[in-house]
Amino acid sequence: MQTELVSGFAPALLEDALLILGQVFPAHWQYPDARDYYSKMLADSANINIFLNSDDKQVGYVLAIPHDQAVREMREDDPQLKNDPSAYYIETIGILPQFRGSGGLKAMLDRLLAECKARGVVKLSMHARSGFSAIVQKNFKILTFRPVAKWRYANFEEPVDYIEAAI
């Protein structure tokens, strides 16, 4: 499997991202304006968009945005968030179920870390579901950790952990 850092909007990339996220997250967790939202995310050069490829097929996707942008978008949902221009926020990450367990997550995270370092970013932040939270806790130096009992972006159905990790 290979990773690809992409910059700029392309219709095929949008379709790939929507397909991946549609299979990774429950339908009722999807953004109602997902097409418009991810079009903007792909087009914004401040964002980091990485795809995981297997046999010329996109099978994974990670989107990281400047942490301060995430704070602006989610301040009402998590009032404890504070600005930090040295951080990037993992907005979404997922791999198609049939491609999990083959090193793809590590490859995407390695590529994300390399791009963050190239941009002078020293910290990652995220609201992580339990499975991803455990992986992050095992593989990163955790700077901040706090559980969030009810998370709007998980349709209030499951808790998440807010994590800040050193790069």
CB atoms within 10 A of CB 44: 17
Is-above-0.75 flag for pTM? yes
What is the domain-level CATH number for residue 115? 3.40.630.30
* Structural domains in the chain (count): 1
List pLDDT tens digits, range 95-111.
Answer: 999 999 999 999 999 99
Closest CA to 94 of 62, 69, 120: 62
The confidence band for 131, taking pLDDT boundaries of 50, 70 and 90, is: confident
Nearest-angstrom CA–CA distance, 167 and 54? 27
Q: How far is CA 31 from the centre of its chain?
A: 14
Residue-level pLDDT at 143: 97
Amino acid in the structure at residue 26: P
Q: Show the tokens assigned to 33.
A: 């304006």
List pLDDT tens digits, range 27-75.
Answer: 888 888 999 999 999 999 999 999 999 999 999 999 999 999 999 999 8
